Structure formats: C-alpha cells, structure tokens
C-alpha cells in the first residue's frame, strides 16, 4: 500500500508579498517541504528541500539585505530527516523534482543513487543557462535522468502521477498521490499558499509565464473542486508542512 509523508526541510524567510500579492512586507517564515512516497515498487522523493550550502549562499547574497533568508540546521536536511525515519538516502529509488529552483533541488546532492524524473521542458530550460534562478552545480550531479513529456504514471497503477503545471517555470510539474482516503495533490510552486488558489488575483508577479501559470492554477482548482486535497508549496498554515519531523499524510 502506498504511503505519503510530508517532510519539513527548513524555512524560507521572505516578505509576505513574495508568497501572495497584496500581503504586505512583514517577514514571513514559510516551510520548504519534501515528500516521501513509499510504494511496493520503490521509494520516491518529490522535491528535496534546502541544504546548508543554499543557506550559506542566501546569507551572503544581495537578497539578504532585502529581507530574504533561510532557517535551517543539519537535522532538517533531507538525508537526516530520512535517517530519522530509518531510511538511508541510498534507499531512495527516484527523485521527482517539481522544478530546478534551488530550494527544491538542493537536497539532491544528499540523495546519491536515485533516478531523476523531470519534465523535459524544465530540464532543457535549466541547462540552457542564462537564468539566475538556476545553478547547474545543484542538479548536474551525474544522476540518471528520465525526461518526461507530460503526464507520467510512475508505477502504472495510478497511485503516483506526475503532471505538468507550467507557468512558475517552463517545465514545472506537480504530483497526484492516490491514498485510500482520497487524492492528494503536491502543488509545489504552482501554488505557494491556499489564498492564491482561492483568489487568483493574489498570484505574484514572479511567474515565467503568467497566462500559463493561471491555466495551471485553474487545473488545481478543478481538482480541488472534485475532492482532491491540495498540499501547497510553501504554506505556513498547513500543519503537515510545518511539523519538525516527517508526518504521515492520511
Ligand atoms: Zn520555484
């Protein structure tokens, strides 16, 4: 039977309006999650969270002066979180990355033996260079890569389906996990917080393609309307994302 765990991998600090339009400039502490999916066919991570390397980079970057930062210690990195669950990083078979921004892919460096699952359009954009939000040294680490062209049912039984939700980045993808209690959607950066899905005018200006992003939000909204539970990308109001330990989603 499939199991889904939400795993907090530290906190990204930013002005509230970074996560939702019109929210003001108060510094907000937002969780950075990874997810573990256990299936008889293998162990899968969806995103990998941040690392001490990324924390150090943020502390010295220009954005620190603008109120951005990272709260993280080694116990919150994905390798340590997995070991606390009795799982070695080398036990992970697949890493599905929503996209290749640092706070989602940095932890890949701690997961040595997995095959990457990523949309081809994201891969090609990231390797094309020229965008400051991408740094190959975080993800070009020699892992086997399976490039996806659209929806992908990893185990062939509908229990874990990756599907494109472009707009935040060109090849962003989300995941649908089919639990006995219903479908859970891992939105990642297609939707940072619940307020944006409730009111699309709160979508910030950070999308690479706003029209595409709005289309992806409509898809999530439609899934929500059909009964799927949405776990948002960086929502401090979702307890499974903020617990200081891996949390079974059921
Ligand atoms: Zn992102």
Sequential DSSP letters for 13-43: EEEGGGTSTTS-SSEEEEEEEEEEEEETTEE
Q: Which of 38, 7, 100, 22 is nearest to 108 (CA)?
A: 100
Instruction: State the distance from the centre of ligand 1 to the C-alpha of 34, rounded, in angstroms.
Output: 13
pTM above 0.85, yes or no: yes
Host H or E run for residue 117: strand 115-119
Instruction: State the distance from the centre of ligand 1 to the C-alpha of 101, rounded, in angstroms.
Output: 5
Instruction: State the distance from the centre of ligand 1 to the C-alpha of 203, rounded, in angstroms.
Output: 13
Instruction: State the distance from the centre of ligand 1 to the C-alpha of 206, rounded, in angstroms.
Output: 9
Task: Report the pLDDT value the prediction gives residue 52, as an integer from 0 to 100.
Answer: 97
| pLDDT tens for each residue of 137-181 | 999 999 999 999 999 999 999 999 999 999 999 999 999 999 999
Instruction: State the distance from the centre of ligand 1 to the C-alpha of 189, rounded, in angstroms.
Output: 5
Instruction: State the distance from the centre of ligand 1 to the C-alpha of 130, rounded, in angstroms.
Output: 16
Residue 120, C-beta contacts closer than 8 angstroms, at least 6 positions apart: 147, 148, 149, 171
Task: Report the pLDDT value the prediction gives residue 132, as an integer from 0 to 100.
Answer: 84
Task: Report the pLDDT value the prediction gives residue 131, as an integer from 0 to 100.
Answer: 87
Instruction: State the distance from the centre of ligand 1 to the C-alpha of 40, rounded, in angstroms.
Output: 30
- For the chain, 250 residues long, the average pLDDT of each consecutive 10-residue run is 97 96 95 98 98 95 89 98 98 98 97 97 92 93 98 98 98 98 98 98 95 98 98 97 96
Instruction: State the distance from the centre of ligand 1 to the C-alpha of 99, rounded, in angstroms.
Output: 7
Task: Report the pLDDT value the prediction gives residue 63, as an integer from 0 to 100.
Answer: 86
Instruction: State the distance from the centre of ligand 1 to the C-alpha of 1, rounded, in angstroms.
Output: 31
Task: Kindly list the protein residues that place their beta carbon closer than 5 angstroms to ligand 1, a single-atom ion.
Answer: 101, 189
Instruction: State the distance from the centre of ligand 1 to the C-alpha of 224, rounded, in angstroms.
Output: 22
């Amino acid at each position: 039977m499939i199991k889904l765990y939400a795993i907090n991998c530290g906190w990204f600090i930013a002005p509230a309006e970074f996560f939702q339009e019109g929210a003001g400039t108060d510094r907000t502490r937002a969780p950075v999650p990874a997810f573990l999916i256990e299936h008889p066919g293998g162990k899968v991570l969806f995103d990998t969270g941040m690392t001490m390397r990324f924390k150090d980079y943020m502390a010295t970057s220009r954005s620190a002066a603008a109120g951005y930062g990272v709260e993280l210690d080694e116990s919150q990195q994905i390798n340590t979180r997995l070991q606390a669950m009795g799982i070695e990083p080398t036990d992970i078979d697949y890493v599905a990355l929503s996209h290749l921004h640092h706070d989602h892919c940095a932890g890949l460096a701690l997961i040595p033996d997995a095959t990457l699952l990523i949309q081809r359009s994201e891969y090609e954009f990231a390797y094309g260079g020229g965008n400051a939000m991408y740094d190959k040294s975080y993800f070009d680490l020699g892992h086997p890569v399976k490039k996806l062209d659209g929806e992908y049912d990893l185990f062939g039984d509908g229990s874990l389906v990756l599907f494109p939700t472009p707009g935040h980045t060109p090849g962003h993808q989300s995941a649908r996990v089919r639990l006995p209690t219903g479908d859970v959607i891992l939105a990642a950066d297609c939707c940072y917080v619940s307020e944006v899905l409730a009111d699309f005018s709160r979508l910030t200006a950070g999308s690479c393609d706003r029209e595409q992003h709005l289309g992806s939000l409509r898809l999530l909204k439609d899934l929500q309307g059909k009964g799927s539970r949405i776990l948002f990308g960086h929502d401090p109001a979702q307890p499974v994302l903020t617990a200081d330990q891996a949390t079974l989603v059921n």
